[in-house]
Amino acid sequence: MEAYESFAAVYDTFMEETDYAMWVKYLHKIWEKENCEPKLIADLGCGTGNVTQILAREGYGVIGIDFSEDMLAEAKKKAETEGLDILYLLQDMREFELYGTVNCIISLYDSLNYITEEEELLEVFRLVNNYLHPKGLFIFDMNTEYKFKNILAQNSFGETRENAAYIWENYYDEEQKINEFYMNFFIKQSDGKYERKEEYHYEKAYDIETIKRLLEQSGLQLCGIYDAYTFDLPNEKSERIYVVAREVQKTECCDVLQEEMEK
């Protein structure tokens, strides 16, 4: 089963305490620091669209890209309810396609940790470089090995809400640097009974030197790597890092997609 098929229906329920507004405020701080004023933004691994919706409300042109049809269905439903003009694309970030370039590409909440092969992560970076407007920014976050090894580790987690519950069993393979978590969901149905569904998720830990190397190979220029939501350098106990890179190779661009979005 693909990740986030069962979780899609209850994702926002279990994520309701997540401060998405704070995430977007941090994006604004990065844009200010890097003198970037994006008009069109693509979100890789947009999920149910919580960040894309905030950005759209702020007046940005936004494209949400996700591999989960179920997560995108939730995102589209919420956008339609609010009357937000967001383009959602059902695509694998390892081979995503756009009609033209964008000013900024983001990928948040450890979406890129789900790319478990270096060659495939490099391909994502190359595609990002291809679709970024000249000097456009690429901003993404990642869970660290410290978090996988010391926080999630070989632990189990669970949470219960009024109409749903889950059990998360975690395992981290230090040799392969792969974090596996097996999730059981119990979702209340219209007849009052609970349906159990299961999903397996896999994330890979990437060290900073590997990230730097792959960015360089893709043609992107590293601007900075930070402890999450700050501009401090990552430390040995950082659980999440943010990486900021810039497109540096293009000299000219015909921004077809932005023109289409603005019509």
Hey, what are 191's tokens? 């007849």
Per residue in 188-200, pLDDT tens? Answer: 888 888 888 888 9
Hey, what are 5's tokens? 């098929």
What confidence score (pLDDT) does residue 14 get?
60
Same domain, 240 and 258: yes
CATH of the domain at 223: 3.40.50.150
Structure letter (DSSP) for residue 231: S
What confidence score (pLDDT) does residue 187 get?
79
Residue 159 has pLDDT above 90, yes or no: no
Residue 225 has pLDDT above 90, yes or no: yes
Hey, what are 171's tokens? 């395992």
Residue 215 lies in a domain: yes
- Rounded to 10 degrees, the C-alpha dihedral 118/119/122/128 comes to -120
Strands of 178-188's sheet in order across: 156-160, 164-173, 178-188, 194-204
- pLDDT-derived band at 15, boundaries 50, 70, 90: low
What residues make up the domain containing 194?
147-203
Residue 72 has pLDDT above 70, yes or no: yes
Per residue in 117-130, pLDDT tens? Answer: 999 999 999 999 99
Residue 2 lies in a domain: no
Residue 119 lies in a domain: yes
CATH of the domain at 169: 2.20.25.110
> 75: buried, middle or exposed (CB in 10 Å: 19+, 13-18, 0-12)?
buried
Count the neighbouring beta carbons within 10 Å of the beta carbon of residue 79.
20
Residue 167 lies in a domain: yes
What confidence score (pLDDT) does residue 11 get?
58
Structure letter (DSSP) for residue 152: I
Full-model pTM: 0.90
Residue 1 lies in a domain: no
Q: Which of 203, 219, 246 is the last residue of a domain?
A: 203
Return d(Cα 222, Cα 246) in angstroms, integer. Answer: 6
Q: Into how many domains does the chain fold?
A: 2
- pLDDT-derived band at 243, boundaries 50, 70, 90: very high
| Average pLDDT over every residue of 40-63 | 97
Same domain, 159 and 139: no
